[in-house]
Structure 1
Amino acid sequence: MSQPFPEHAFLRGNFAPVHFESEALDLPVEGEIPRGITGTLYRNGANPQFAPRDRYHWFAGDGMLHAFAIADGRVDYRNRWVRTPKFELEREAGRSMFGIFGNPMTSDPTVVGKDTGLANTNVVTHAGRVFALEEGHPPFEVDPTTLGPKGYESFGGKVFGRFTAHPKTDPETGEMLAFAYSVGGFFTNKLAYYVLDKHGAMIRAEQFEAPYSSMVHDFIATRNHVIFPVMPLTGNLQRAMAGKPAFAWEPEKGTHIGILRRDQPLAAMRWFKGPAAYVFHPMNAWEEGDRIVADVMQYDAAPLFPNPDGTPGDERKAVAKLVRWTFDLAGNTDTFRQEPLDDLLAEFPRFDERFAGLPYRHGYYAFYDPESRKFTGSFTGLAHLDVKTGARKQWHCPAGDAVSEPVFVPRATDAPEGDGWILAVLFRGATQTSDLCVFEAQAIERGPIGRAMLSTRVPYGFHGNFRPT
């Protein structure tokens, strides 16, 4: 018999898992869902099916996909767990079998060495296929309509066991760029760099060494370069085996940023250095002659992870703001410039991804209560920033509600940058339900122009993307 879930900040409220899969056709709509939106919004997040064996972490729950299929002003909804080998083994056992992040010290002895994949962080489309992603395992393919499992994809055995949750698609070539960290074993300092062509074939898969073992959650790409941020949220096997945190904040190691021209060998990688900071998610980056400019959500200290001795980190530093990095590739220096772009405490930056790796103007992100000075994973509003003028527009959730990552959908394939809509999932605190909300991207401050209303809730999660029909 499965056990009740323990009391934990990331297992209560709208962080708590939903214990069922469901479908709802033709959701009630308030306002109008524009008929120009035709496709499916996929969202992924942690939704543990059983109570954890040891202390829970938000990033360690089983993946659950939420799909909102939109056509003719109507919305259908479906949610499904991602049925990884780990999920199926625990479903058969009727209880949790693996320690958090697959920790062998706290796993059932019968599953040590077996697959621990969660596929809980992102969901992307490439070459007509849909993949649920996390950063410790290969992509897990699902059916675009039913969300049923198709299994891991190693691209002809070329994936080195791991794959990022945040690949980048080049809008000009159709190539997908990706990477992985801790390649070849627990907490190694090896990273992988992958390139898939527009048809989904792996055409580059190589490994290189970083200055130290780090949780490299995301990376950055421009038209001609890829950028790997190695920041001091470190992984350490000996520390984990001693019962201390596997991942911990070690600011004395500083920040190291590797930059590589996409047409060059790995030996041409150039490393830049900076003070300790952490970035889960960049917004976008582009080139200006011999300079690379990147806009990122930067923390002074990584949130949600402790110091090496297990003591809590400094919550006052563990908040993110939008910061611009500038690298001078022609200069005789290994440092880079950092300058703030916005003062909102925010995360989950997104933009019109037809301009990925290119100069852009419009950015969107979710922000959280500035009074708390603490990252909680739930967001109290959405912002639109004109990065050329600095003008910012904001929409605040109704009291007690919280909003997800914003996803941009263009009005047409050839529409000007920023001409389209923002899709976001809104949790309604008073009713314990969720709505799919549609905003005019250039008038986000006016609030939703349409809401498709569920009679259940979508737990707080991570990332998603829109797949046009």
Structure 2
Amino acid sequence: MVKIEREIPIQIDPGENPFLRGVFAPIATEITASDLTVIGEIPKDLDGAYLRNGPNPVHRPRGRYHWFDGDGMVHGIEFHDGKATYRNRWIQTEGFAAEQQAHRSIWPGLMDRPDPAVPRGAGSDGWLKDTANTDIVFHNGYALALWYQCGLPYKLDPRTLETLGVERFGGKLARAVSAHAKVDPVSGELLFFDYATKPPYMTYNVVSRTGELRHHVDIDLPGSRLPHDMAFTENYSLLMDLPLFWDPQLLERNVHKVTYYPELPSRFGIIPRYGLNADVKWFEASPCYIYHVVNSWEEGDEFVMDACRVIQGEPNAKRGEGELARMRAFLRLEAQLWRWRFNLATGAVKEEQLDDAKTEWPTINRHKMGRKSRYAYNSRVPHYEGLVKYDTVRGTSESYLFGEGRTSNEAPFAPRVGAQDDTNDEDDGYVVTFVADANAQHRGEVIIIDAKNFAAGPIARVQIPQRVPTGFHSIWIPGEQMRA
């Protein structure tokens, strides 16, 4: 059964922009669909909701469209008792509402010049539209939609996906929230940073389990930076100062050109969970850029972090890709799995490559976040043609490929109901993900993979009665938490 909840005509001519066509093309309807067709069988012990955020633009862009510009839309599928219900909803940000009222794009995009004539928006200089289209986390009973260049956290009902307003953490939110905020599965605390082009260049924050901002501190940096992710353990958080950031001289002229500075080291600042700026211990490592952390934990005096390290800090544009070549080069996210060890007693740093395959968009069993973990589930890049399961204890991996014309990116792990929270059995569950099929223009699909039998592929394929565009980050919310 399919119910159309809302339809907004897409007012875009995709032209030659690859991120407005094919599996990336936006859709015009919000629907609720139940009694979905299933190839195979949905396990009875898969109970909860898989939510995925991503861009779904409505209005013709003012200039060149960047994949990160699109209005946020959350797609969700809830599993219970062997059945599934699908929903999708635009995130009702302030910018989305303003442009719906104006019937046009108001703010410039990431590849455009700032426009001082438009209302103040969001981002490092307040000149972009906050679309909340990047990540989604679950905290204090709500899903929070977050934006890549630091914006306001938009609170969503995790079941209906309806936008409930901005989460200001008891009225104490001082600035903005980074895309990759972290929720400690034991304490329930939410950890995040934000960054800006003017001092303070970074802040670090801790929110309680019940949604009150408890800690806010300015972090000293040598200049404006562009960190994308952070890490944490039981006692510490890790913040990044990496040598890929806006050219400071051009920034003075309000030109935002991302530049890689290989002569500078990568710096990693480790701060106690409720520490101050003076407590940050900075470590230097070889120059690199990191989009996404896999996990981190403590081993004796060491802070250990696994992350996807970009192969080229500033990737080379390919010939024949026109004016969008540089954007396309960055969006390939070509990275490899690495491990860093930071010794808090001696200051020593050890970094090692764990795999030479190109993978990104990592997920783990979220019950293990901040604690030692064994398994990671990454997407193959740059073509998103399959998934890789890593066993970092044995140093092995296994893959599943989607098939010709089929793509996906981030695939969260869903623990089986009754699974033990144990390192030796942390893959007792399923991997779920939306798959976009270039050959099926009017339907989408969610696949369910038994994580213990990963290479065998899906045990169930759930058919979605509309196309689901390729998107960004996702979350698995266990049923007992979502319905609490």
* Residue in structure 2 matching 1:451, options 461, 465, 469: 461
Distance 1:173 1:215 in 2: 28
* Residue in structure 2 matching 1:328, options 326, 343, 348: 343
Partner in structure 2 of residue 412 of structure 1: 417
Cα distance, 1:32 vs. partner?
0.9
Distance 1:411 1:459 in 2: 27
Change (3 A) 1:251 1:55: farther
Task: Determine whether 1:132 maps to 2:141.
Answer: no
Partner in structure 2 of residue 232 of structure 1: 243
Partner in structure 1 of residue 25 of structure 2: 16
| Unaligned segments of structure 2, at least 5 residues | 1-8, 318-323, 480-484
8 Å CA contact retained: 2:172, 2:212: no
Cα distance, 1:339 vs. partner?
0.7
Distance 1:313 1:35 in 2: 43
8 Å CA contact retained: 2:64, 2:112: no
Cα distance, 1:209 vs. partner?
1.7
8 Å CA contact retained: 1:305, 1:313: no
8 Å CA contact retained: 1:249, 1:313: no
Partner in structure 1 of residue 4 of structure 2: none
Task: Determine whether 1:282 maps to 2:293.
Answer: yes
8 Å CA contact retained: 2:201, 2:225: no
Distance 2:83 2:203 in 1: 42
8 Å CA contact retained: 2:64, 2:111: no
Secondary structure of 1:252's counterpart equals coil
Matches within 5 A, 1:427-446: 427-432=436-441, 433-446=443-456
Partner in structure 1 of residue 482 of structure 2: none
Distance 1:282 1:197 in 2: 22
Distance 1:30 1:73 in 2: 12
RMSD: 2.6
Structure 1 residue identity aligned to 2:343:
D
Cα distance, 1:313 vs. partner?
8.8
Cα displacement string for residues 101-145 of structure 1 (whole angstroms, at most 9, x for unaligned residues): 4967347x3535688311001111111112111142121112223
Cα distance, 1:240 vs. partner?
5.1
Distance 1:210 1:466 in 2: 34
Distance 2:315 2:160 in 1: 33
8 Å CA contact retained: 1:248, 1:305: no
Distance 1:364 1:238 in 2: 40
8 Å CA contact retained: 2:50, 2:474: yes
* Residue in structure 2 matching 1:123, options 136, 152, 171: 136
* Residue in structure 1 matching 2:360, options 319, 337, 347: 347
Partner in structure 1 of residue 188 of structure 2: 174
Cα distance, 1:49 vs. partner?
1.1
Secondary structure of 2:95's counterpart equals helix
8 Å CA contact retained: 1:211, 1:256: no
Cα displacement string for residues 245-285 of structure 1 (whole angstroms, at most 9, x for unaligned residues): 44333333331111112243321101111222111101011
* Residue in structure 1 matching 2:119, options 111, 114, 132: 111
Partner in structure 1 of residue 72 of structure 2: 63
Matches within 5 A, 1:273-422: 273-302=284-313, 312=326, 319-333=334-348, 336-368=349-381, 375=382, 378-412=383-417, 414-415=419-420, 416-422=425-431
Cα displacement string for residues 221-265 of structure 1 (whole angstroms, at most 9, x for unaligned residues): 011111112112213576257574443333333311111122433
Deviates more, 1:319-328 or 1:198-207: 198-207
8 Å CA contact retained: 2:180, 2:230: yes
Partner in structure 2 of residue 467 of structure 1: 477
Partner in structure 2 of residue 371 of structure 1: none
Distance 1:431 1:24 in 2: 18
Change (3 A) 1:31 1:242: same
Cα distance, 1:158 vs. partner?
2.3
Cα distance, 1:86 vs. partner?
0.6
Cα distance, 1:312 vs. partner?
4.1
Identity over aligned pairs, percent: 33
Partner in structure 2 of residue 372 of structure 1: none
Change (3 A) 1:68 1:125: same
Change (3 A) 1:312 1:121: closer
Deviates more, 1:435-444 or 1:265-274: 265-274
TM-score by structure 2 length?
A: 0.87
Change (3 A) 1:7 1:177: same
Structure 1 residue identity aligned to 2:380:
F
Structure 1 residue identity aligned to 2:33:
A
Partner in structure 1 of residue 104 of structure 2: 95
8 Å CA contact retained: 1:303, 1:319: no
Secondary structure of 1:118's counterpart equals coil
Distance 1:391 1:153 in 2: 41
Cα displacement string for residues 56-95 of structure 1 (whole angstroms, at most 9, x for unaligned residues): 2111211001011111211111111111111011111111
